Chain A
């Protein structure tokens, strides 16, 4: 049976689905976590760490949702504060300084829309996180695990290679937000989900993501496949020069929505 776009939305949001931290531990052989943005505080919904995947040192930058209600309250349901993006910027700069590849994991409904987040410059934090990812001259691999919500997801996704789980979603806004903006009716989210083209297949077809992790067997198999794909890309990208890495990434995003003449 073919799943509808909204089925994918629900699978991606399932409370029992693998969460970011679970994937970090499954992918990495070792990891030491970094805390804090050095300006204001630590954001538990953004996990950054110095990790080892097989023989590769990598910088892990992951959006993490909670595994139960209490954990979700602590991790703000995976909605990052400006401090989360600023911690990610620290991690990118450190990786870049040491020429260590970056593996980012995306799972967020979106950047947190709160009073404090606005006061502390959510817009500026995201913009500078995009800038940091665009500027890094080390291999960057992004894994879209479940929910790729809007600018918050893009902030970790200016990458050389993007891998997306089959049932993950990635979109300009949540289907609810999209329906309430365009149709002034959040309950139309099911229908708009189809129009939004937010499934892994849609995004692969558009060239937004590079490959899909099959989820037809078990999550364990999918994790193994992901680790395998990440390792292949690490080997491949590490053979490229800094200039090649930057220009590959630049060319990839430069051509998105550029089909216009002169």
Chain B
């Protein structure tokens, strides 16, 4: 009888061990996010390396995920050609809105950028350009005094050197913490765009996720050509504000790049893999082409 108990005890403990082992084996593991990337759209996983090599486009569903300014530059211009301008500047510490300096500091640390835009000159397929790249990871790419100033300086630099202008836009709009001065950046950047147009220079805006508010209502809509990445959010007012105003829910593709194309505000939606070659084509086209016949 005692033996029987012992035997049962052994069986149970063996079973428990097995259970623990299997728990360990089949438990939902925390995905190590430095190795694996899980797509926010289709929830399928791929290796981070594969995802990065695919220019941060999901290998399963083609969703275009957010790109940092540095990665964007890397995939957009000729290797090693980017010369940053005024990138050492940081937003004035005199701006004392509660928590603003703290938020700026956090954003600088997490993005390793001084502000939400990187500007400079570069070549794209050997064409010299003035290029600005916004980063939505930095306080939603919002436009405060320094972002407005850098974009304005970039456009003025383009005017001075007669460069075509390419701006990758990613911004939620004007930066609330800087109040009316942020609003005035819309006027400042618009005036700069006017100068660029007055000199008959070529400008292309590439709208990426998101392009809204005071940025979509100023320089982002003032290029000669407006391209966009697939599914990017592009609009003026926030969706929640609109729903509250009109008291009804909005169609799913509302304010998407596809919606903007349909409504006539975007020239073309370009896959990230094709963006650089498309821009190169347009730059060449804007100069009237080459003397060589392009073979098809």
Binding site for B on A (CB under 8 A): 111-115, 117-124, 126-128, 130-131, 134-135, 150-151, 154, 157-158, 170-173, 177-178, 181-182, 195-198, 203, 206, 208, 249-250, 253-254, 256-262
Interface string of B180-216 (1 = CB under 8 A from A): 1111111110110110000000000000000011101
Main secondary structure of the interface of A (DSSP, over half): helix
If A127-B220, A170-B180 touch, whether A113 touches B236 (CB-CB below 8 Å) is: yes
CA distance A260 to B181 in the complex (A): 14
B235 to chain A, nearest CB (A): 5
CA distance A45 to B69 in the complex (A): 40
* Contacting residue for A208 out of B92, B184, B194, B218, CB 8 A: B184
Residues of A within 8 A of B186 (CB): 130, 151, 154
- Interchain CB contact under 8 A, A171 and B179: yes
Asked if B288 is an interface residue, CB under 8 A from chain A, the answer is no
Asked if B148 is an interface residue, CB under 8 A from chain A, the answer is yes
Q: Which residue of B lies closest to A203 (CB)?
A: B180
Residues of A within 8 A of B263 (CB): 119-121
Main secondary structure of the interface of B (DSSP, over half): helix
* Contacting residue for B219 out of A127, A170, A262, CB 8 A: A127
CA distance A261 to B174 in the complex (A): 22
- Interchain CB contact under 8 A, A135 and B188: no
Q: Which residue of A lies closest to B234 (CB)?
A: A123
If A127-B222, A128-B221 touch, whether A117 touches B187 (CB-CB below 8 Å) is: no
- Interchain CB contact under 8 A, B241 and A130: no
- Interchain CB contact under 8 A, B191 and A257: no
- Interchain CB contact under 8 A, A130 and B237: no
Residues of B within 8 A of A113 (CB): 236-238, 241-242, 245
- Interchain CB contact under 8 A, B236 and A122: yes
* Contacting residue for A151 out of B194, B214, B219, CB 8 A: B214
- Interchain CB contact under 8 A, A123 and B180: no
- Interchain CB contact under 8 A, B179 and A135: no
Residues of B within 8 A of A128 (CB): 221-222
Beyond A113-B241, A206-B181, list 4 extra A-B contacts (CB 8 Å).
A115-B246, A127-B216, A171-B179, A173-B176
- Interchain CB contact under 8 A, B184 and A257: yes
CA distance A62 to B212 in the complex (A): 26
CA distance A206 to B265 in the complex (A): 35
If A131-B193, A151-B217 touch, whether A124 touches B265 (CB-CB below 8 Å) is: yes
Residues of A within 8 A of B174 (CB): 151, 172
Q: Which residue of B lies closest to A256 (CB)?
A: B184
Residues of A within 8 A of B92 (CB): 259-260
